[in-house]
Each structure stands twice: as structure tokens, then as C-alpha cells.
Structure 1
Amino acid sequence: MAHNSSHTTRSASPSPEQPWLDGQRDALVRWTHRARQPHGFAWLDDDGVPDREKGVQTWITARATHVAALAHLHGDSTAGELAEHGVRALLDSLRDDQEGGWFARIAADGTPVSTDKAGYEHAFVLLAAASATSAAVPSANELLDRASRVVLDHFWDGEAGLCRESWDRSWRAAEPYGGANSNMHMVEAFLATAAATGDTAWARRASRIADFLIGEQARAHGYRLPEHYTPDWQVLPEYNRDRPDDPFRPYGWTPGHSIEWARLLVHLEAALPDPGGELLDHAENLFATAVRHSWSRDGAEGFCYTLDWSDRPVVRLRMHWVAAEAAAAAEVLHRRTRRERYRELAQHWWDHIRTHLVDGRGNWVHELGADNQPSSVVWRGRPDVYHGYTAASLASGLRVPGYAIRSTGNWTD
């Protein structure tokens, strides 16, 4: 088996027109340039102006660094220095040089604001470090070494085969909660790290996370993934019922995460030397269940954000990241299975994205109401380019380290 990861490749016929996809990637990178601040990358409003009240957040800076590293790999001459800026910010400004790890947020002047150490943020630091290492960004190896050690020392629970959620600054008190969302992003980061280092132990760790959350929990719940758990990994089905639109821990199940998991399972299958057939089965079941229950459920196109355990919509808002992940997952499943139905779905969702989410400002509208008009109930502004850039890259057939696909007996990027 040959795993081709040494050069940029393109699929023969991406769903949207290639010039449009290229334009979207370029626009998202330009938006990232606008977010650049001395200590990282800012949260931008709808007009692309930094929101100073939100300071500099690690997850945004790490995602921007990851995107810049990919853009550098994809030939964007402006992106290498942008990725290097992100690496330096993660090494210098956002890193806790006393206790180790990364602050969740610092003020615009570099003063720490939120000092807890969360798995969600650390997953993206690891992802950024791995992508920047694959792109040969200066100092990325140092960042990857530091991030790897922090994740293994403090977040990875080898006995459970899962990652802990968060700690206080000094790593003495762990949060009494287990989260599927942060573990999903750890899977993504582990795959990117395996690709950057050649160390398949990272892929095996990712596989253990997937075994529990998907192979056990999602399958036991009809491929509806419970997101919230006790510290010993018992399901908390009523968690945040009183805060159903929480941006990171909403009540119920989140179809967009199932769709995102479906894509990641295909990449995980390609990263393992002997994956078996269950990963693809899980991916297709997650995808089908999520699409069936969340797409166009209430009279208008779009994916409902969350559903209850009877599959009734709870939060009917449409998030840009769900549409992006749906288009990306459909593209990946088409390449993996060659089933034309996935290509048709990808085309349909790209049309939806072009109609409702792309407005010419350079970054996609982040949230729509049930009427597909812009909304700001959960997300204000446009802090993120990561999902859009990922989807456009996969639709273009561009190399993304860690996102390999096994297709018709061959390994492709």
C-alpha cells in the first residue's frame, strides 16, 4: 500500500466549479489576515473588525494557524508568514510558561484572562502544530513537541482510551465532566499528528476514542451520539436542558457533529494499518441518521442545530459549520465509496452554501434562523474560517495532512 502525502493533488471533477472554490479559499485566508493581532488572531465581527472585548482566544488562533499552514501547503504565497505568526503566538503569548499548557484567552495586550486548561483548546493547538509541521513552518516542530507532551501528560487517559475535558491552571483539579466534542477534535488532531510525525500510535489513540464514542455509544443510541458524560463516562442525556443553545455544550444530540464524525472515521480508516470494515459502516450510519433527522425538518432548507432524544428539533438555527461539514463529508464519502448519491448531496449542499451563507464579505455567515435569514442567537460575528476552508479544500481534492481516504483499494490524499 502506498500512502501518497508528498504533493498537492486534485480530484478530477469537484462538485462546485474549481475557480469558485479557489476564490472561497483565497477569501477565507484574506479574512484570516484581517484577524491578525500582535498576540494571535482576533474574533472578528460581521464586517471583519476585531472585537477587542473578546481578546485573543486560543481556539481561534490555533484554527487560524492551521488554515494558514494548509493554505501555505496549497500554494498561497501570503500564508506562510501568517502561519509562522500563529505558531509564535501559540509558543509565546498564549502559552502558560509557568504551569505549562495554553490559556483559553488573553486580553488584547497579552494579559491572561481565562486560565483554565481545556481539552477543546488544546486539541486545536495540537492540530495547528501538526499542520504547521507538515507545512515546514518555522518553529512548528517545537510547538508540536510541547503540545504533544501536554496532551499526553494531562489529557490522554490511557486506561479509559479517552481524553479528559479540562483542568484548572495548575493541573490539580479536573472538571467533573466528559465531553464528546473535545474528544472528536482530539481525534482530528491525533490524525494530523500521526501524518506529521509518522507515529501511528496517534492513530491508535484516535481509534480508541472512536471505539467508545461511536462504536459503543452512538451505535447503542441508533447512531445518535450522546455528547455529555460523567467523569467515568456514563451518559448525561439531560445535560444543559435549561441551556439548549449553548455554543459548545448544547442539550440533546448535535447532527452536525455526527456528520463531522462520519468524515473523520473515513480518515481514521485510512490512518490505521488494519482498520476492518466497521469504521466505514459507522460513518455511513452516522451520516444517514443525521441527515434524515436534521435536514429541512421545518419547512426551509438547512440543518437544525440540535434535536432531542425523540428527534424533535430543539434549536432550529442553522450553523454555517454544519453545512460546511455536510458538504465535506459527502465529498469524502463519495471518494471512499464511489456512490453517486454522495456526490449529488455534496452538490446540493454547496448550492445551499452559495445561496444562503456566502455573502461576499470574505467569510461565511455563521448562523441563520429557521427562515435562512442571518441570525446571532448563538454566534455573533464571524470568528472562524476553519470549517469553510476545510470543506473547500476537500471539494478541490487538495492535500490536507491527516485527511487521507482509502478508495478502491488505494490510499489517496
Structure 2
Amino acid sequence: MPHASRSAALPELTALFADVQQHFLHVIVPLWQGPGWNADMALPYEALDAAHQPLPPQRYRAMACARQLYLFSSLIGAVDNAETRAAALFRSLQRHFHDAEHGGWFYSIDAQGKPLDQRKDLYTHAFILFACAHYWQKSRDSLAESTLNAALEVIGRRFATGDGLYEACLDRDWTTLQTGPLQNPLMHLAEAFLATLQVRKDAQTRQALLELCTAMHKGFIDPQHGVLMEKPLRAVDNWYEPGHQFEWYFLLESSALLRGSTLHCALDQAFAFTERHGVDQPSGAVLAMLDLKTDGRAKNATQRIWAQAEYLRALTLRPASEDVVLRQLQALQQRFLHAGGWHECRDEQGEVSRKDMPSTTPYHLATCYYGLAEYLQR
């Protein structure tokens, strides 16, 4: 990585990163230790409003529980009572969402704790696997490893389609809903496989990850532009999302196993194309959805905090100067962070379009900040 501007930009970047870290630890995390926590259910509320009040609960999702399990597992040793909260979230995941009759985990329960959407969702199962890997790494709770093993088994036995890919959603009893594979659940499955391999040697998971990435390249990469589409190539009404391009890039580039794979090479080569069409200049805002049929123009120009965080994280692994990383951290702070928490979305004019703060967003900020911390230590 070139360091021509390192001496000039590094002190400012380091200072700004310290500020956003403090904001995360002293503003955002406490929202989910206090007002965002339903102590009766031992679950996070789905979202808080701008005044830090829970939105009236309609449902609780297993995926949101798993993301918060990851969050507090990652904070063990850094934040008071993080281990206690992670343990409570792990117990709630099993108590509220596990399907004792058919196996796997429900998508959601209602406000009273009864099963609501009982379908079996790959996105949810991927996050359960991801969270359990991190929780087990920090806690060494044998039940966490057992749940990790159960998640791996059910994903491989129920969701796998036999060609390296996986169904996005199945019915409660595992019968098909004809959804086929979709990019986003598969990306988080790759992330979960990587998390599993970080905590133990696992030849079967390693092979499944390699086969998944090979199949993603074959079935989802647009042959002309090299970008990863949201649906398989033959699907109608397809599009691609810059935030997901950057998220995939980080996962692949940061893995010694996947770096240099055909999928990694495609996204590496397409990175500049994605930046040119998917990042607004000079604001640095990442656009939500792009359409290749219109030469990459925006299909949806909403600006979301998670995509902003993923672009910033990806830049830490690019041969870019510290000035570029600094500008994007400034964009994240100035456009999305505020004294009371964060703005979830801005519209195409840059106006705040969502006032609520979902319980799932701190996961993206945490992974982004870990990427930045590693960048500054290199």
C-alpha cells in the first residue's frame, strides 16, 4: 500500500477514528443496553425512535437477536456487562426462535413471543451461525459450539441445492417455496463460514465456502462489467447494489483463503466501476441500487448508513491513500452520526428519510470500525 500521504493524513485520521469509536461506545452501544432492551423478553426492540423510545413492537426477528449477539460478543472485555448481555441474547435465540418440531429457527415471533413468520430463512440462519462463532470464540460456552454445529448441519442438509448455492427461504417444514438462491443471504453465509473457520479448523466448512464462491462467480457475476448481481444472471428485473459489492470485496480481500479466487478477482476489477457509478461525488454518499440496463444509473438513490460503512471498510483494504479513507470516515460521521445516535437513511436529495434507529445497524458499524482499527495498526 502506498504511503505517500501517510504522515500528513494519519494523525487526523487517527483522531477522527478515536472520536467515532467513543461515539459508538458511549452513545450507540448504551442505546441497546438501556432503552433498546426489552428485559421482559430478554430481546432487543426492533428499533428506537429519535427520542430513544422503542417503536411499538410488532415482531422480534431471530436475525436481529443474532446481530446483537454478535455485537455484545465482540464487546466482551471492552464494555461492562457485555458478557452478561451476550449470554442473555444467546439464551433468547434458543428459547424464542428455535423450532423444536422441525429444527432450525423461525424468522420471527410476535410482540407476545409467539411464532409469527415460521418460515426458514437462510439470511437468519447465516447470522445465527456467524453470531455463535463469535460468541463461542469469546465465551467458550459449549452450548454455543453445539448451536454452531446445529446451524451448519441444517444449512448443509436443508438449504443446499447441490451446486454450491443455497435456497434463500423454505417453509417451516423445509418444503420448497421456489425462491432459489439470492445474493444477500449467500454473502452472509460466506461471512458466517469465514467466522467459523476463524475459531476452528473445519475442512467441510472450508470446502463449502470455496464451492459457494465458485458458484457465485458462475451464477451472479455480470460477464460484461464484473459486478455481482442481486439475483442469478438469468433472473428478470435484476440489479446490483454498491454496498454489497463493497461488502463482498472486504470479505474476499481479507481472507487468505479467498483472496485471488475468481470471485475476488472479478470484484477487484469491478471496484472502480462500482465507485464511479455507485458513489456520489463530492459527498461520498453510496447509492442504494444501480441498473446495468441504464449504464449503471441509479435505480434507487437512497443513501444508507450500512452501505456507507461497507464502502469505508472496503477502502481500508484498497491501495488508496489515507486521504481517501479520511474523507470517507468524515462522510460517515458528518452525514450519518449525530449526538443522539445515527441517521439510518438519507434520500436522493440528501435529506434524512428515516428517523428510527434499527437494532441491526450497530453490527455494520462494529465491523466497519474493526476494519478501520486493523488498518491503522498496519
* Aligned match of 1:390: 367
Matches within 5 A, 1:226-241: 226-229=229-232, 235-238=234-237
Q: In 1, Cα distance between the equivalents of 2:152 and 2:261? A: 29
Q: TM-score, normalised by structure 2?
A: 0.87
What's the offset of the Cα at 1:288? 2.0
Deviations 1:101-148 (A, max 9, x none): 111111232101110011011111111111101111643223212222
The correspondence for 1:52, drawn from 44, 48, 56, is 56
* 1:164 and 2:167 matched: yes
* Aligned match of 1:206: 209
In the comparison of the two structures, how many residue pairs are matched?
360
Contact 1:42–1:57, Cα closer than 8 Å, also in 2: no
* 1:348 and 2:348 matched: no
Give the match's secondary structure for 2:116: strand
* Aligned match of 2:276: 292
Q: In 1, Cα distance between the equivalents of 2:20 and 2:257? A: 27
* 1:68 and 2:68 matched: no
* Aligned match of 2:350: 372
Q: TM-score, normalised by structure 1?
A: 0.80
Sort the Cα spacing of 1:131 and 1:86 in 2 relative to 1 into closer, same or farther, 3 A.
same
Contact 1:39–1:108, Cα closer than 8 Å, also in 2: no
Q: In 2, Cα distance between the equivalents of 1:90 and 1:108? A: 15
Matches within 5 A, 1:220-369: 220-229=223-232, 235-238=234-237, 252-268=239-255, 270-271=256-257, 276=260, 278=262, 280-296=264-280, 300-309=283-292, 310=294, 311-331=296-316, 333-334=317-318, 339-341=319-321, 343-362=322-341, 364-369=342-347
Q: In 2, Cα distance between the equivalents of 1:397 and 1:300? A: 25
* Aligned match of 1:36: 37
Deviations 1:298-322 (A, max 9, x none): x754111111113111111101011
* Aligned match of 1:181: 184
Sort the Cα spacing of 1:12 and 1:143 in 2 relative to 1 into closer, same or farther, 3 A.
farther
Q: Percent identity?
A: 21
What's the offset of the Cα at 1:186? 0.3
Q: In 1, Cα distance between the equivalents of 2:285 and 2:133? A: 33
Structure 1: stretches of 5+ with no match in the other structure:
1-10, 240-251, 399-411
Residue type at the aligned position of 1:43: E
Q: In 2, Cα distance between the equivalents of 1:388 and 1:313? A: 25
Q: In 2, Cα distance between the equivalents of 1:90 and 1:143? A: 10
Residue type at the aligned position of 2:31: W
Structure 2: stretches of 5+ with no match in the other structure:
1-9
What's the offset of the Cα at 1:212? 2.5
> Relative to total residues, which structure has the larger helix share, 1 or 2?
2
Give the match's secondary structure for 1:256: helix
Contact 1:43–1:55, Cα closer than 8 Å, also in 2: yes
The correspondence for 1:149, drawn from 147, 153, 171, is 153
Contact 2:45–2:57, Cα closer than 8 Å, also in 1: no
Higher RCO (Cα < 8 Å, 6 or more apart): 1
Sort the Cα spacing of 1:319 and 1:284 in 2 relative to 1 into closer, same or farther, 3 A.
same
Contact 2:107–2:118, Cα closer than 8 Å, also in 1: yes
Contact 1:24–1:392, Cα closer than 8 Å, also in 2: no
* Aligned match of 1:408: none
